[in-house]
Amino acid sequence: MCELLGMSANVPTDICFSFTGFLHRGGGTGPHRDGWGIAFYEEGGYRDFRDPHPSVRSPIARLIRDYPIKSHVVISHIRQANVGQVRLANTHPFVREMWGQPWCYAHNGQLAGWQALPLSFYTPVGDTDSEHAFCWLLGELRRRFPRRPANDVEREGMWRLLHQLCERLRGLGVFNLLLADGDYLYTFCSTKLAHITRRAPFGQASLSDAELAVNFAEHTTPDDIVSVIATEPLTDNEAWERMAPGELLVWRDGTIRARYGRREPEPGAAAGCV
Amino acid sequence: MCELLGMSANVPTDICFSFTGFLHRGGGTGPHRDGWGIAFYEEGGYRDFRDPHPSVRSPIARLIRDYPIKSHVVISHIRQANVGQVRLANTHPFVREMWGQPWCYAHNGQLAGWQALPLSFYTPVGDTDSEHAFCWLLGELRRRFPRRPANDVEREGMWRLLHQLCERLRGLGVFNLLLADGDYLYTFCSTKLAHITRRAPFGQASLSDAELAVNFAEHTTPDDIVSVIATEPLTDNEAWERMAPGELLVWRDGTIRARYGRREPEPGAAAGCV
């Protein structure tokens, strides 16, 4: 299994602390030696850093750990290859432009029968089930919504469709997902995803995977809201909430804006917004 | 004016030497303080590193200079902003996937009336003339060639169309271009581009912009062919060839595979392949 790490925040925030713990799972405390990547959204722009080598020994990973890039939305992935060779083209996160926004995607799990998912606007560069599923999913969104949703009704329609598409992929195997467009972060749980929201009063946190603690009160203002989503909780002294299988969360500025599928409904049924 | 740097090679080659000189133009010997970026194709994959800060002070640029990434095709750009704010979304190179290949683009120059270029498959994320022209150009290629050219005839038809599109953009102002799909590197000259091909017997080269010399014979094998293309020659002891205005070169594995527009023909007329 690969490892996923995501962040949504209402102020540009660096992810160095969480990334330090996460990094150790890439060949350190974890078996995920087959590459890693991290994507940042900054002021409407996007950049990612990817390396097909284990993250614990990657000079690029060290740069990211030591060079604080402040972002509202982050997606990171450490890979343990199952489908597709260990090479750059198969290294998450993947990105495609839709509606003038860079959409970023990382997947944990394995799918069966993914080759039959029909492609339209987007074509994989590599040969993984993950990237094929991404190209299909984004193509389906774009076929139904040729333009960016312009209001709340269209937007919620798009989110419901996204939930249906995720449920269809969950029907093909394990599909834990992080997806983002720069404003929103979407997290879908098939088997394993946990999240935590940090806000005032901020406390101290200590990493499960490395000897490091941080007092968030020293690095934040009272209005900051920062949520972190990961395959497994990254800290050992905080209460992380686990997502339910089939659940889609829509995050913006560190808070959950909509939630679908919490009570394990039939695929396609929405459980409503919060 | 921005600065462009490209490389095409028949063996995976690191560009550290050329990049060291190029880097100095980003706020060192040059006025190009508004961000920089570099893209590498590796084993069918793609990655880029972009920073909206001056390259001479960028920790990411230092990493690229010191961490040799070996590639067949490289595109790099240092920006001096004219259209569009200094921010990540406006930082070259730009990338879009077409036909399952990551197409990478960097532009030097300024265009007039670019807003009227109609868009189809691709939409700009930022607000520069450069990215708009890229989205138009790639969209036009894809409209005429919905699938990747499958043979030499189709491929040469696509190259002729590319030359026509570049000529149309040259009609809007200054349009010096580096474009790549991972196999081929395309260079189009509107006002300024020079190139050099290094092959056995390899000699010594010294940078124009920094105190550094390299003896390529120590770093190469007799079969290596490495071509470098830049806005201005990067070395002061080698014979660089300047491209003609309106000329498109198609590079693969370090050599020129086709050449269009050398004798300043009417826009749209091809001067043939070599």
A96 and chain B in contact, CB less than 8 A:
yes
B67 and chain A in contact, CB less than 8 A:
yes
Closest residue in A to B119 (Cα–Cα): A100
**Binary contact (A44, B99; C-beta < 8 A):** no
B171 and chain A in contact, CB less than 8 A:
no
pLDDT for residue B110? 94
Q: What angle do CA A48, B30, A49 make, to 5 degrees?
A: 10
Residue A267 pLDDT class (50, 70, 90 cuts): low
pLDDT in tens, A52-88: 887 777 788 888 888 888 999 999 998 776 777 888 9
pLDDT for residue B179? 98
Nearest CB partner across the interface for B44, out of A45, A89, A121: A89
Residue B57 pLDDT class (50, 70, 90 cuts): confident
| Separation of alpha carbons A271 and A259, rounded Å | 7
Residue B268, sorted as left (phi over 0), alpha (psi -120 to 50) or beta, turns out to be left
A143 and chain B in contact, CB less than 8 A:
no
3-class DSSP state for residue A9?
Answer: strand
Average pLDDT of span B183-190: 98
- Give the C-alpha distances (Å, rounded to integers) separating A128 from A88, A89, B90: 12, 9, 30
CA-based nearest distance A173→chain B, Å: 25
Q: Which two tokens stand for residue B40?
A: 């590498």
pLDDT in tens, A104-146: 999 999 999 999 999 999 999 999 999 999 999 999 999 999 9
**Binary contact (A49, B52; C-beta < 8 A):** no
Q: Is residue B2 annotated as a catalytic residue, yes or no? A: yes
pLDDT for residue A80? 76
pLDDT for residue A22? 77
Residue A21, sorted as left (phi over 0), alpha (psi -120 to 50) or beta, turns out to be alpha
3-class DSSP state for residue A223?
Answer: coil
Tell me the pairing of strands B71-78 and B45-51: unpaired
* Domains defined along chain B, listed by start: 3-260 (3.60.20.10)
Residue A219's contacts (CB-CB under 8 Å, 6 or more residues apart) are none
Give the residue carrying structure tokens 């993914």: A114
**Binary contact (A67, B45; C-beta < 8 A):** no
Closest residue in B to A44 (Cα–Cα): B89
Contact B42, B70 (CB under 8 A): yes
B45 and chain A in contact, CB less than 8 A:
yes
Mutate to test the interface with A, among B70, B123, B147 (most CBs of A within 10 A): B123
Residues of A annotated as part of the active site? 2
Furthest-apart CA pair in chain A: how many Å?
A: 51
Q: Is pLDDT at B70 greater than 70 in this prediction?
A: yes
**Binary contact (B100, A50; C-beta < 8 A):** no
Residue B118, sorted as left (phi over 0), alpha (psi -120 to 50) or beta, turns out to be beta
- Please tell me which residue, B127 or B266, carries the higher pLDDT value: B127
For chain A, the straight-line distance linking the first and the last C-alpha, in angstroms and rounded, comes to: 31
